[in-house]
Chain A
Amino acid sequence: MLLLDAIFIGLLEASPLILAAMGFTLIYYLNGFMNIAYAESVTFGAYFAILFNVVLGMHFYTAILPSMLMSGVLSVAVYYAIFRPALNRGVGPTEMIILSVGVSFMLRYGLILVVGPENLFLNEPNISYLRLGWMGATNLQLIALGLVVLTAGILYWMIYNTGLGEQMRGLANNHDLAMASGINPHRTSIAIWFIAGCAGGLSGVFSGVFAQVTPYMGWNIILITMLVTIVAGIGSVRGAAVAAVVAGILTAFITLVTKPLYAEVVLLMAFIGVLTFRGARTA
């Protein structure tokens, strides 16, 4: 029973993480660096939801789509303004990470300067508590889970079954060969950064509605997202989804048997342990 509870709670809690990990992995796979500024796709997704839902007064469910799209547009804009020129200049992978930390700071603290550091709340739709056998969940959680599974499924299908996915995999594996075979790297990159931004935005909307919207919300999940991505193997979107689910279930399980704060400690230590075996060797 404990295990089933952990799986169920873990899935509900991990749903934003699954999307974030998949989006993060897409960029990591395509451009070969860990984009810390992806945290801001998540944060801005939630703040766009605040804009549409609270400021403009749209219904929560109708606000999801524009928030997601805006987050995707922001992601493409950042790519065009900063990351593409940097990649063209031949900045190395570690320097790209430092650069993305800088971008993340700029976006996050720029956001705080504009909207203020206060925590905000989304106007949630009517929440009702449903019982499913011995387990309980709110309708919102179930809808979120459904949407996440749907989005994750679409992403998965797109990467492994469509032309865009094939182009992306081609570019990631051998950039020159892909270009020689007529793949337009700009178009593919824009599409991937847009999709990754949308996934991050959706993730942010759900983390925001489950708790609250803060300027640090993306930052708080980026560490777990990074570890999930590395452990899953470079650029395996399949692996990222599985690792995110496992991480969610593991956290829920440890939280049920010990104090919640220890769950994070154990999870991070477990990740460091796994890195020992899964991280690519240097020499």
Chain B
Amino acid sequence: MDYLIFSLSLMLIYIGLAQLLHVQFGMTGIPNFGVVGFWGLGLYGTGVLYVTYAVPLLPAIVLASVLSGVVAYVLAYLVLQRSGQAILAATLALAAVISTLVVTEKQLTGGVKGLGMISFPFPELGSRNVVYFIFLVIVVAVLIWGSAKLRDSRLGRQLIAIRDNEELAASLGKDTAGVKRMTFVVTCALMAALGGMTAPLHQFLVPYHLAPSLTFAVWIALVLGGKSHSLGALIGVFATFGLFDILIETYAPVPTEQAILLPNFKLFCYGLLLVLIIMFRPSGMLGEDGPRVRARPRPTPTPGAAVREG
């Protein structure tokens, strides 16, 4: 039961990350391949502050997120106005740098020996993992609601304009570089906050947590669910992490000899799913929602549309 709650909590973290990636890539068109880097900065930042400097959990998460935001700002300043492929490579490189530094800076992070323990907040409560799970549900719900609100706002339309044609958006007098940078910094800081929230789940942090497979798991989930749909992240994580990591790994009757190959089989299936979805349904299972796909306003607009447009 505890393990199921752990898995479900971790799934919520994945949904949150995929939702933030939806804002970065699905809305704004920034291909961030360093998700694990920002998340990991939050995870280890929180861990180091909590364990080494005895900072309480909540301030530690906030501080780690701010740190991650600063790193994101510097990276954004350097490469965000370059081509998508350059951004992709730079974010991937940053994630590699962070995971290497976690191994080398032993006096802070414990290196390969690991860092611990980080316990759930509110020691006076009973069954704290359930309380924490409910807290994560609220966090993820707020993220999904927030990104849906964002999409329908002026800022959201500006982000979509940047994604579709940045030169055009810039020629309309929008500060596209500034808006993009701000969006990137805020979403990366939120990824780090989710990383900080992961710390009590893992309790004991090891560099293995920062393997790039997390980035790809989040990407695959988002692309599968629908990168430009507000619920794409949710559905995508259910269909990948929920189906494979929770249902199959926990409940499927697999003989022990084959069980060690199961994670490899899972990643093979992820790859296959990704290929099929890009080939046959590039917008993902849910497609795209939001104002962009609605037909041009007719001469007599429907009341609902008029409210949304305002």
Contacts and interface: CB of A to CB of B under 8 A. Distances in A.
Interface of A: 33-34, 82, 85-86, 89, 91, 93-95, 97-99, 101-110, 112-113, 117, 223, 226-227, 230, 259, 261-262, 264-265, 268-269, 271-273, 275-276, 279-283
A103 B275 contact: yes
Nearest to A92: B282
Contacts of A226: 89, 92
B132 to A, nearest CB: 32
Contacts of A265: 97, 100-101, 104
Contacts of A117: 264
Interface stretch (B52-60, B146-154, B266-274): B266-274
B261 A97 contact: no
Interface of B: 29, 31, 75, 78-79, 81-86, 88-90, 92-94, 96-97, 100-101, 103-104, 166-167, 169-170, 176-177, 216, 219-220, 223, 261, 264-265, 267-268, 270-275, 278-279, 282
Contacts of B84: 93-94, 282
Contact of B267 (A89, A91, A109, A283): A109
Contacts of B85: 33-34, 93-94, 97, 230, 279
Interface of B is mostly: helix
Contacts of A262: 104
Contact of B82 (A93, A101, A110, A276): A276
B93 to A, nearest CB: 4
A197 to B, nearest CB: 18
A276 B279 contact: no
A112 B264 contact: yes
B89 A230 contact: yes
B216 A268 contact: no
Contacts of A89: 279
A31 B271 CA distance: 21
A101 B90 contact: no
A257 to B, nearest CB: 15
A109 B264 CA distance: 5
A105 B268 CA distance: 6
Contacts of A110: 268
A206 to B, nearest CB: 23
15 contacts: A33-B85, A34-B89, A98-B274, A102-B271, A102-B273, A108-B267, A109-B267, A113-B261, A230-B89, A261-B103, A261-B104, A265-B97, A268-B93, A282-B166, A282-B167
Given A109-B267, A112-B264, A98 B223 contact: yes
Contacts of B220: 101-102
A95 B78 CA distance: 23
Nearest to B77: A276
B96 A104 contact: no
A36 B3 CA distance: 35
Nearest to B78: A276
B170 to A, nearest CB: 5
Given A107-B271, A227-B93, 19 more contacts: A34-B85, A91-B279, A95-B278, A95-B282, A102-B220, A102-B271, A109-B268, A113-B264, A223-B92, A230-B85, A265-B101, A269-B93, A272-B93, A272-B94, A275-B89, A282-B84, A283-B81, A283-B166, A283-B176
Interface centre among A97, A102, A103, A227 (most CB of B within 10 A): A102
Nearest to B88: A97
B278 A98 contact: yes
Nearest to A96: B278
